[in-house]
Amino acid sequence: MRIDVVSIFPDYLGPLQLSLVGKAVASGQLDLRVHDLRGWAHDKHRTVDDTPFGGGAGMVMRPDVWGAALDDVLVPGGTLVVPTPSGESFTQRVAESLTDSTQLVFACGRYEGIDARVAEVYRERGTVVRELSIGDYVLNGGEVAALVMVEAVARLLPGVIGNPESLVEESHGAAGLLEYPVYTKPASWAGADVPEILLSGHHARIARWRRDRALERTLDRRPDLLAALEDGRLDREDRAV
């Protein structure tokens, strides 16, 4: 997959050189390109923003500068992702859907955001445009949100995570539940013992215990996720929890 990130602060994307995403880039599984939006500005001050039509506080990013950048960076069939607090929620399902694209272009806005015509015009031209929010809070710009989304998507690409089984049981995975609690050695630490069942070697009972803990956690912390589970996703034993 190719991922392009366009920002006035390309250094913000530095962490993408680290860890699993960094390895995927180094090994060529991920073609990651970070661009400075100011490279497409056309005045000597390299201006990318202006005052909002209709008045109001702050500055808005100019559509002509973004248009020049996106025309150069988007390849046919590429998906334009615009991180914005007014977007649709970015969820694990959305991350999965983004893995179908051959290219993702992240347009990171700053200030009061990007002139609304940019998303509109690219959509009209047939580009898939996803305006996405990573949560109900406001960041200073799209860069941190792009970091979040790139990591969430990149780890789903074949070969990026060493053991693909880790993707199966995690929170927001196929079961639609939060992940059960996990433990490692030592079996006894600070007066707290690992639950006995996990030392028993009874695979079926361990699987049931983990499912029960996942259900309890989800009920306690994210009842909205349980409520959203379709009928038929819970068995009789689940209902007892």
Distance CA 176, CA 179 (A): 9
Q: Does residue number 145 form part of the binding site for ligand ADE (CB under 6 A)? A: yes
Q: Cβ 108 to ligand ADE, closest distance in Å? A: 8
Instruction: Select the span of 128-136, 158-166, 190-198, 228-236 touching ligand ADE (CB under 6 A).
Output: 128-136
Q: Cβ 82 to ligand ADE, closest distance in Å? A: 8
Nearest to 87, CA basis, from 153, 50, 148, 132: 132
Residue whose token pair is 């988007």: 74
Question: Cβ neighbours of residue 84 under 8 Å, at least 6 residues apart?
Answer: 109, 113, 114, 131, 132, 133, 142
Instruction: Select the span of 36-44, 122-130, 137-145, 220-228 touching ligand ADE (CB under 6 A).
Output: 137-145
- Report CA torsion sign: 73, 14, 113, 61: negative
Q: Does residue number 142 form part of the binding site for ligand ADE (CB under 6 A)? A: yes
Residue whose token pair is 């497409």: 40
Binder among 138, 204, 227, 240 for ligand ADE (CB under 6 A): 138
Distance CA 229, CA 2 (A): 33
Residue nearer to ligand ADE on the CB measure, 83 or 176? 83
Question: N- to C-terminal Cα distance for the chain?
Answer: 42
Q: Cβ 92 to ligand ADE, closest distance in Å? A: 16
Residue nearer to ligand ADE on the CB measure, 43 or 136? 136
**Residue 135 annotated as binding?**
yes
Give the residue ranges of the annotated binding site. 109, 134-139
For ligand ADE, the binding residues (CB under 6 A) are 83-85, 133-135, 137-139, 142, 145
